[in-house]
Copies of this chain bind each other. A is one copy, B any other.
């Protein structure tokens, strides 16, 4: 079964039929990215959302002083893109790039809307995905405003252990809102 098909089934209350999946698949295009290539640059409009078949990506923001702040990390079976730009057709304030060579499947907003109205199962999927995202970001905010650097790192490590292997520490540090030096020191403390 196609990777996206089983991914969708994991969310749906009823499995997605083969015909439905063919319709869904026909709305996607394939794309590959080499490590360090951009998927989205600041100022662009995010025309596509990417489903990651293989690889790892990050979304980050560059502030006035030219510093990068990693906002999101993605690996297989996650979605990469800037929703605000995607749905509002606004220039994005984020960069999205590949941290490893990537295989992606891209969808436009028009296709997303069409699929939603055409296939109740796709609609349901999106609702659940948003729900899950909402819950995860809620947790992240709770952790960010409540905890010290050490606790945040430990939470992250226990929540997303595979990310520790996939992303360099300066990127994880930035995701946690601390410097790479602080992360290095925090890691050398015993838990």
Q: Which residues of A contact B (CB under 8 A)?
A: 61, 63, 67, 69-71, 83-84, 87, 93, 116, 123, 126-127, 130-131, 133-135, 137-142, 144-147, 174-177
Contact = CB atoms under 8 A, between A and B. Distances in A.
A120 to B, nearest CB: 8
Q: Which of A69, A87, A126, A141 has the most CB of B within 10 A?
A: A141
Main secondary structure of the interface of A (DSSP, over half): helix
In the assembly, how many copies of this chain are there? Answer: 2
Given A67-B146, A71-B145, A130-B131, 14 more contacts: A61-B142, A83-B131, A83-B134, A83-B135, A84-B138, A84-B139, A123-B127, A133-B134, A137-B138, A141-B141, A141-B144, A144-B145, A145-B176, A145-B177
A175 B84 CA distance: 23
